[in-house]
Structures are given as C-alpha cells and as structure tokens.
Structure 1
C-alpha cells in the first residue's frame, strides 16, 4: 500500500509499505478515503520528537471497513467510519470513565496511544491506503448516510473538532461566558466554533497570521492580532478591563513571538488575560522532553509559569489531550443535522502522493494553508 513515511527532520515520502492487516480478533481493517495533516504532526516533521524513521504518519483518519476480525460484532464490512486519534481498549479504568485519551492497556508503561505518533505506541498511522484499527467495535464511529457528501466535515471528528471542544470543556465554558483563545490554527478555530456552540457571548481568537485571523472572523469570533505583543491589553479592553471568563491554550510548546520560540508565552498571557477565578484549558501539545528547544527549561519539559499570579487570581488550569470518544458522537450528530460545518476551515485537498508538498507548506505557515486533507482513495 502507499503510505506517508517519516524519513527524518522535514523529510517525508510516499512509498510502498506492507499492507495493513488484521492482527487480532478485535481488529478492523479500514480502506482510508480521507486523512489529514495535523499541527501536531509538524512536531515530528520538524524533528522535535523521538519519532523513529520509517514509520507511517497520520492520526486523523476516515474510511470504509473492508474486513473485520472474528470477535468484532457491531462494525460491519462496508460501514463508513471515522476513528478517534486515541486508540483505546474500552475496558480499562480510564476508558470506563470516558478518559479514552489515557487508556492504560494500549500503550503499556504510559497512559494513552495514538496512530502514527511518537511515544504513543507502535501503531502505524493512517496517511496510507489502509489502516488497522485495534478494538474496532470500540474505536470506529459509524457515520450516517450523508458520509460521502460531508466527508470533509466528518473526518475532522478524528481529532481537531473534538480537541477544540475539549479545550472549552477544560476551561469550563458556559453560556454567556467571554472566551479568549490563543492560536488560530485548526484546533483554535475549532475551539472558537465550540465556544459558540456552548453559548459563549464573546469569543476572541489571538494569533499573528492574517489568513488565520480572517478565518476566525468568518467563524464569528473577534480576531485579535498579536503581531505587536499587545494581545493581553486588547483582551482587557474588549472585556471592560475585567479579563475573559475563560481561556483556551491551542498553540503548544513551540509557541513563538517575532520568529523566536517562547514556550511559556501563551500560558502567561492567559494568566494575565483571564479574570480572577476564571478557567484555562490547555490542549496545545506540551512534551516531557524537548531536546531541540532553544529554551533550557523546555529542554526538560519545564515551563516558567507565572504561578504566583495564577494562585493570587484563583484561576484553575486543566490540561491534556482530548478524550475524543467523549465528544465525537454528539458532534457527528450536529454535523448530520446541519447545525455545524467544521470543514469551512479546510484550505487544501491533495491526493496522498502530494503529502510532502502539504507538509512543506503547512510547516512553513504558507499564506492560505490552514488545514490540509489528503485523499487516499483512487
């Protein structure tokens, strides 16, 4: 099968790899039709993780079931399905609580597994023609009859739409709240969409890329240009000096200012911009070790957080990757009902063969390249 393979920093290729296949009775084999390049793929692409060369990338996957293991009962051949990026067993202590992003059995020695991702288990990714899905009955979200028509909407259920929604849950967004979202990349834009679904009265999205800010405005948010570093002052002005009720961190550990990485910038800005007793949700990726960081603290996964101000303001912070299965079914139903259209942030559709081009432009933040989907089906 064709697949996108990590060859080293800023080097991916499309090559023939051994076909994915059923390995256990609970597996499902999916023919991938649409798969995406995610912002978190760029951490590996840039060589900022311990990703092994020769591995297949891709954790945002949708396709058609072509084979099922002997123990699979619910999912059937021919079903159109979308897979959470989390690989979860469904029966461990965390999965039973709905915390499927922190499954205790699929990646022994740590909590949480994912397709084609560094440190998240040995699983191959779905930027390929076929994908093996472990615990298929649990991990496959079956899609409604309009799956082909709305494929670009439904594929975003694999990660960025639930992750954006998760940011608002972690922050505690309630109807009437004002929300400040740092990062107008795909996840930040989905957080803006989600905050409005939850009834936020004012959604402010902070970034320095004009094309992304335009998309935020198109989604109904207030764009806040932080090119001059004045975002905190702008948020305070927009909230009458009180600060936002809730804040979402949707950037991660490679946050930068004027081309220079400042890993603690977005978090400290949120501490300043969110009102006393407000909530902050962190879904941007932060890692335990970042040897490639120019920041000495960040090399060891340490963040210089303004903890004193956080404590004095009585704010709360919640963190972690999204438990996609906690949200994907209800978000699917909103798409099916025509209540939400997340695909409006997609800028490019490319065949799988052009994945290296997609990675190059997305990594360079080329104007207009906001979300890339890859079409694996011929």
Structure 2
C-alpha cells in the first residue's frame, strides 16, 4: 500500500509499504478515504520528538471497513467509520470511566495510545491506503447515511472537533460565559465553534496570523491580533476589566512570538486574561521533554509559569488530550443535524501523493494553509 513515511526531520515520503492487515481477532481493517494533517504531526515532522524513522504518520482518519477479525461483532464490512485518534481497549479502568485518551493497556508502560504518534505505542498511522484498527468494536464510530456527502465534516471527529470541544469542557464553559481562546489554528477554531455551540456570550480568539483570525471572525468570534503582545490587555478591556470567564489554551509548547519560541507565553497570558476564580482548559501539546527547544526550561519539559498569580486569583486549570469517545457521538449528531460544520476550516484537499509538499507549507504556516486533508484514493 502507499503510505506517508517519516524519514527524519522535515523529510516525509510517500512510498510503498507492507499492507496493513488483521493481526488480532478484535482488529478491523479500514480502507482510508480521508486523513488529515494535524498540527501535532508537525512536532514529529520537525524532529522535536523521538519519532522513529520508517513509521507511517497520521492520526486523524476516516474510511470504509474492508475486513473484520473473527472476534468483531458490531462493525461490518462496508461500514463508513471515523476513528478516534486515541486508541482505547474499552475494558481498562480508565476506558470504563470514559478516559479513553489514557487507556492503560493499549500502550504498555504509558497511559495513552494513538495512531502514528511518537511515544504513543507501535501503531501505524492512517496517512496511507489502509489502517489496522485495534479493538475495532470499541474504537470505530459508525457514521450515518450522509457520511459520504459530509465526509469532510465527519473526519474532523477523529481529533480536532472533539479536542476543541474538550478545551471548553476543561475550562468549564457554560451558557453566557465570555471565553478567551489562545490559538486560531484548527483546534482553536474548533474551540471557538464549540464555545458558541455551548452558548457563550462572547468568544475572543488570539493569534498573530491574520488569515486565521479572519476565519475566526467568520465563525462568529472576535479576533485579537497579538502581534504586539498586548492580547491580555485587550481581553481585559473587552470584558470591562473583569477578565474572561473561561480561557482555552490551543497552541502548546511551540508558541511563537515575533519569530521566537516562548513556551510559557500563552499560559501566562491566560492567567492575566481570565478572571479571578475563572477556568482554564489546556489542550495545546506540552511535552515531558524537548531537547530541541531554544528554551532551557522547556528542554526538561518545564515552564516559567506565573503560579503565584494563578493561585492568588483562585483560578482552576485542567489539562490533557481529549478523550475523543466521550464526545464524538454527540458531535457526530450535531453534524448530521446541520448544527455544526467543522469542514469550513479546510483550506486544502489533496491526494496522498502531495502530502510532502503539504507538510512543508503547513509547517511554514504559509498564509491560507489552515487545515489540510488528504485523499489516499484520489
């Protein structure tokens, strides 16, 4: 099968790889029809992780079931399914609690597994023609009859739509709240859409990329350009000095300011911008270590964080990757009902063969490159 393979920092290649296949009785084999490039893929693409060369990337996947293992009962050949990026077993303590992003058995030695991701188990990614799905009955989300028509919407259920929604859950967004979101990338835009779905009275999105801010405004948010580094002051002004009720961090440890990485910038700005006793949800990726960071603390996975200010303000912070299965069914139903259209953030739809160039342009944050989806069958 054709697949996109990581070969080293900023080098990915589409090449022939051994076909994905059923390995265990509970596996499902999916023919991938749409797979996305995620901002999290760029950490590996840039060589900022311990990703092994020769591995297939891609954790945002959707396709048609081609084969099922003998132990699979619910999923049938021909079903169109979306796969949560985090792989859960369905029976461990965390999975039983709905914390599928922290499965205790799918990746022995670590809580959490994913497709094609550094440190998240041996599983191949889905930027390929076929994908093996472990624990298929549990992990496959079967899509409704309009699945082919709305495929570009439903594929967002694999990661960024649930992750953006998760940011609002972690922050505690309720109807009438004012919400400050740092990051107008795909996840930040999904957080903005989710905040509006939950009835927020005002959604403010902070970034430095004007094209992304324009898209945030189109989606009903107030864009805040942080090019001059005064976003917290702008948010305080827009909330009459009170601060936002809730804040969402959707950038992560590679936050950039005027061309330089400042890993603690978004977190400290949120402490300033969110009101006393307000809630902050952090879904941007922060890693346990980043030897390639220009910041000495971040090399060891640490931040110069304004903890004293946060403590004095009585703020609550919740963190972690989204437990996709906790949200994907109800978000699927919003798409089916026409209440949500996450595909509006897609900027490029390309064949799998064009993936190397797409990675290069997306990594460079070129204007207009917001969300890239790949079509292996194109």
The normalised TM-score by structure 2 is: 1.00
Which structure 2 residues correspond to residues 244-323 of structure 1 after superposition, within 5 A?
A: 244-323=244-323
Q: Distance in 1 between matches of 2:341 and 2:37?
A: 19
The within-5 A match list for 1:159-238 is 159-238=159-238
Q: CA deviation at 1:204?
A: 0.1
For residues 317-372 of structure 1, what are the alpha-carbon distances to aligned partners after superposition, in whole Å with 9 as ceiling and x for unaligned?
Answer: 00000000000000000000001100000000000000001101100001100000
**For the residues of structure 2 that align with 1:272 and 1:233, how far apart are their CA atoms?**
8
Q: Distance in 2 between matches of 1:43 and 1:195?
A: 27
Paired with 1:148 and 1:358, the residues of 2 have a C-alpha distance of: 24
CA separation in 1, counterparts of 2:220 and 2:129? 36
2:214 and 2:145 mapped to 1: Cα distance?
33
> Aligned residue for 2:57?
57
Q: 2:345 is matched with which residue?
A: 345
* 1:53 Cα offset (Å): 0.4
Give me the whole-angstrom Cα distance separating, in 2, the residues matched to 1:268 and 1:164: 20
User: Distance between the aligned counterparts of 1:350 and 1:357, measured in 2?
Assistant: 10
Local SS of the residue matching 2:349: strand
Please list every run of at least 4 consecutive aligned residues from structure 1 whose deviation after the TM superposition is greater than 2 angstroms: none
Structure 1: stretches of 5+ with no match in the other structure: none
SS at match of 1:12: strand
CA–CA separation in structure 1 for the residues paired with 2:315 and 2:348: 39
Q: Secondary structure at the match of 2:296?
A: coil
Deviation at 1:135? Answer: 0.1
- SS of the residue 1:297 aligns to: helix
User: C-alpha distance in 2, partners of 1:220/1:357?
Assistant: 31
1:214-242 CA deviation, whole Å, 9 max, x = no partner?
A: 00001000000000001011000110010
In structure 1, C-alpha distance between the alignment counterparts of 2:267 and 2:339, rounded to whole Å:
32
TM-score (norm 1): 1.00
Partner residue, 2:153: 153
Match of 1:26 in 2: 26
Distance 1:175 1:376 in 2: 40
Aligned to 1:328: 328
Aligned pairs for 1:87-166 within 5 A: 87-166=87-166
SS of equivalent to 2:343: helix
CA RMSD of aligned residues (A): 0.4
Match of 2:350, SS state, is strand
Counterpart CA distance in 2 for 1:166 and 1:273 is: 20
1:9 shift after superposition: 0.4
1 CA distance for matches of 2:121 and 2:306?
A: 34
Structure 2 residue runs of 5 or longer lacking an equivalent are none
In 2, the alpha carbon distance for the partners of 1:102 and 1:372 equals: 27
By how many angstroms is 1:209 displaced? 0.2
Q: Which residue number in structure 2 is paired with residue 2 of structure 1?
A: 2
Query: Matches of 1:315 and 1:123 in 2, distance apart?
Result: 38
Q: Distance in 2 between matches of 1:159 and 1:177?
A: 25
Q: Residues of 2 paired with 1:123 and 1:29: CA distance?
A: 13
Q: Does 1:42 align with 2:49?
A: no
Q: Give the deviation of 1:377 after TM superposition.
A: 1.3
Offset, 1:121: 0.2
SS of 2:39's partner is: coil
